Amino acid sequence: MKTFNNLKNNLKKDTSNFSTLRVALVGDTSTQLLMTAIIGEAIERNFVLDYFEADFNQVEQEFLNPNSELNLFKPDYIIIFHSTHKLLQEYSNHIYDQESLAEKRISFIKTISENVSSKIIYYNYPEIDDNIFGSFSNKISSSFVYQVRKLNFDLMNYSQKNNNFFICDISSVQNKFGRNFIFTPSVYANTEIVFSIDSLPIIASRTIDIICSLEGKFKKCLVLDLDNTLWGGIIGDDGIENIQLGHGIGIGKMFVEFQKWIKKLKERGVILAICSKNDEEKAKEPFLKHPEMILKLDDISVFLANWENKVNNIRNIQSILNIGFDSMVFLDDNPVEREIVAQNIPEILVPNLPDDPSLYLEYLYTLNIFETTSYSKADKDRTKQYQEEAHRAVQKKYFVDEDDFLKSLDMESEISEFNKFNIPRIAQLSQRSNQFNLRTIRYTESDIQNISNDEKYKSFSFSLRDKFGDNGLIAAVILEKIDDETLFINSWFMSCRVLKRGMENFILNTIIEYAIGKDLNKIVGEYVSTTKNQMVKDLYTTLGFKELSSEINKRYSINLKSYNLRKTFINKINL
């Protein structure tokens, strides 16, 4: 586990090549050490923070004064820390108004959060049990315990309605590690510092987890070993009857619980893959025949069981899924295998699982590996979509000519404007797309909603399906008219699952047809370079655009009078 000093030492590192984010921290207690930890954790994730830290206990003033330092700073993210300790002071000072404490705090939160354009990360409230009523406080709506629990519940409800408001769940951190770990009374008495030094790395990590997710850096895929990872024992030696897996008493019960957790991740949209040193037929047997097996073959997107080294197999899985190694997690009970993978693929996350399988889940809970800031119904279909992609990869091997292969797919694309049905998926796609993302602007649902209602923009979303299945919504463009002749491609992002299908040509044809219909003569596109989108750095020139500038953020244009529609084997369903 990282220490505060580890994070503090990160501030000495060279961050000249890191992306910069503007982050503000406002709190009602002393936050200097918390800010240091957050900056250090951001550097750990290859971000450098241009930050503003408000003075002590200036939350109201910073938000409500339009000329405050906070409002003039215009941060990308605002972290708000309203402490439970100050809440308890307010509760104790207003003896006749205790029953409305949560309601008043929520009202204030709505006031400050709905008047800023920044994304807000709000720390919820770890409980302080003042033991005035003991357990009976759960029946007394005016008790402090009742009001804190109500406030946290109301915060969750409010966050569902405000797409720019995100809760950092430090209450769960206290539940996991204990109040004596997160809070040191003597330090608080002398410094007004609420969080203990030991807890700061965890809280900073949870904070940056949310920012990373919003910035498109999160884990998409869980790669799993089998023997002594998903079940106890070795399937090749012990046989299906003797592996440890079951709902009764014993270690087999813990493997069942572990698989249930993994199953829930899959249903949330995390891709599952198997990487095992085993005979494939024998490795698949528990998935097919064991009555206590929770995971089934249908849950697995890529199943590799052979006697190749795991580094090569993981690289194979990555190439099939076409995702970054830094979005993958590898779980294996064997410390030697873990070390080999970690040394050879440093981008992949390889947690050091405990020796005792009964501790797997509790350990993984502390890591908060699969943080997300979006969820849509389409996530449930992700495993099926990647399985279908594997079928396409197999079929492609039978074709020498690329065009013949594309024709054989019988592809169709439905084009839609942004609407209430597709906005969650579009926002999510903007956050998830790293490689095919021309300007890498991240959008929340409220951002997309605002764009869809703004007449200066024209938006298109694209789905893709073929004979193997439906990929769902896989691309979006946001167009902006900048003068009477020119249309600007404000954003263009696409899922990497559909690369090399001619979707780029299809989308450009759609943009061109729209521009011509509006009597425009020129389209301008921009490429903003990041460490992950190098694959599209030449996209515009490949599509026939001429370069306008040689700066880092390159702009390109194309004259519509000389444009011929590009070849594509995708049929348009409707517009």
Determine the Cα–Cα distance for residues 525 and 546; give it in Å rounded to an integer: 10
Q: Is 324 exposed, middle or buried (0-12, 13-18, 19+ CB in 10 A)?
A: middle
In this predicted model, what pLDDT tens digit does every residue of 363-375 receive, in sequence order? 999 999 999 888 7
Q: Checking DSSP bridges between strand 570-572 and strand 546-547, what pairing results, if any?
A: unpaired
pLDDT digits (tens, 9 = 90+) for 222-276: 999 999 999 999 999 899 999 999 988 889 999 999 999 999 999 988 999 999 9
- Per-residue HEC secondary structure of 415-462 comes to EECCCCCCHHHHHHHHHHCCCCECCCCCCCHHHHHHHHHCCCEEEEEE
Q: Which residues contact 87 (CB under 8 A, 6 or more apart)?
A: 101, 105, 125, 148, 151
**Phi, psi angles (nearest 5°) of residue 481:** -80, 120
The reported pLDDT for the residue numbered 552 is: 67
pLDDT, position 574: 63
Query: Looking at residue 211, what is its pLDDT?
Result: 96
Query: Tell me: the pLDDT tens digits for 373-385?
Result: 887 766 667 777 7
Location of structure tokens 């009523």: 133
**Confidence (pLDDT) at 158:** 96
* Closest among 369, 491, 504 to 427, alpha carbons compared: 491
Query: Is 348's pLDDT higher than 80?
Result: yes
Residue 575 has pLDDT above 60, yes or no: no
**Is pLDDT at 390 greater than 80 in this prediction?**
no
Rounded average pLDDT over 380-399: 72
Whether residue 505 contacts residue 566, with contact meaning beta carbons closer than 8 Å, is answered with yes
SS3 category, 30: coil
Share of the chain above pLDDT 90, in %: 77
- Residue-wise pLDDT tens digits, 122-138: 999 999 999 999 999 99
> Cα separation of 484 and 449, whole Å?
25
Cβ contacts of residue 285 below 8 Å, gap of 6+?
235, 240
111 compared with 395, residue with greater pLDDT: 111
Answer left, alpha or beta for residue 284, where phi above 0 means left and psi between -120 and 50 means alpha.
Answer: alpha
Q: pLDDT at position 216, please? A: 87
Lowest mean pLDDT among 41-55, 62-76, 377-391, 418-432: 377-391
pLDDT range class, residue 551, cuts 50, 70, 90: low
| Helix orientation angle between 360-367 and 251-268, rounded to the nearest 10 degrees | 30
Q: At what angle are helices 32-44 and 200-214 packed, to 10 degrees?
A: 50
> Is the model's pLDDT at 351 over the cut of 90?
yes
The answer to whether residue 409 scores a pLDDT higher than 80 is yes
pLDDT digits 0-9 by tens, 153-208: 999 999 999 989 999 999 999 999 999 999 999 999 999 999 999 999 999 999 99
The per-residue pLDDT for 460 is 95
**Mean pLDDT across the chain:** 92
Q: Are 180 and 14 in contact (CB under 8 A)?
A: no
Q: How far apart are CA 39 and CA 536, in angstroms?
A: 31
For the record, the structure tokens of 302 come out as 């890529």
Phi, psi of 169 (to 5 degrees): -85, 75
Kindly state the average pLDDT of the residues 316-345: 94
pLDDT at residue 459, rounded to an integer: 95
Find out whether 212 and 362 touch, Cβ atoms under 8 Å: no
What tokens appear for 207 in the block? 């904070």
In this structure, how many other beta carbons lie within 10 angstroms of the beta carbon of residue 137?
20
What kind and span of H or E run contains 216? none
The CA distance from 145 to 277, in Å, is: 52
Q: Encoding tokens for residue 56?
A: 């002590």
Q: What percent of the chain has pLDDT over 70?
A: 98
